[in-house]
Amino acid sequence: MGRLTKLGMLAAMTLAGCGVDVNTMDPEAVAHAYLKAIENGDFKKAYMLIDGISRQYTPYDDFVRYWQNFFKKYGRPYKHTIHDVSKLRPGWVVVEYTWHFKRTPETDTTFFLEQRSYRMKLKFEFRKWAVKFRKYRLIKETPTPYGVQREVIEE
């Protein structure tokens, strides 16, 4: 067997083993799967749906801790409604959605609303759409005779 064939089989087995059974070529399906995983507490699946840069700089434990703190503050969402999927620029999509919360004694705070609207960015990475979890900006630095020129590649 050739080396490329072995690498391809290894990549396919890795993707199959991560438990993400989503059509990653459809941004709305990725957003739906991500939100559903968060609602069900399946943080492993949600973590596999975030983009590579966010995953590189966010350990899994921090990701889980972020969502647990979110649930303490606003309550646990039980369903979502995706309102709009719009193209931001090539390789980027914005998903506008609403999360619905149940009123319970532990979430009956000044922050409680029965539904909250949010926006999520999805980025097209190598052959798949992924949720942008962290806020980051890629900057290209070019040395010039007068110093370093900085150019924002993507936000």
pLDDT per position as a tens digit, 98-144: 999 876 656 555 556 688 889 999 999 888 999 988 877 667 778 88
Report the chain's C-alpha Rg in angstroms.
Answer: 19
Residue ranges of alpha helices (H) inside 58-144 are: 60-74
Strand pairing partners for 96? 84, 119
Dist CA 8 CA 14 (whole Å): 10
Give 34-43 contacts, CB < 8 A, sequence gap 24+: 34/120, 34/131, 35/77, 35/80, 35/82, 35/97, 35/99, 36/80, 38/67, 38/77, 39/76, 39/77, 39/78, 39/79, 39/80, 43/67
pLDDT level of residue 85 (50, 70, 90 thresholds):
very high
Query: Domains in the chain, please, with CATH?
Result: 20-154 (3.10.450.50)
Predicted model pTM: 0.73
Tell me the per-residue pLDDT of 14-34, one tens digit each, with 9 for 90 and over. Answer: 444 455 567 778 999 999 999
Average pLDDT over the chain reads: 80
Q: Are strands 138-144 and 147-154 parallel, antiparallel or unpaired?
A: antiparallel
Are 28 and 85 a contacting pair, CB within 8 Å?
yes
Q: Is residue 51 predicted with pLDDT exceeding 60?
A: yes
**Strand (E) or helix (H) holding 53:** helix 52-57
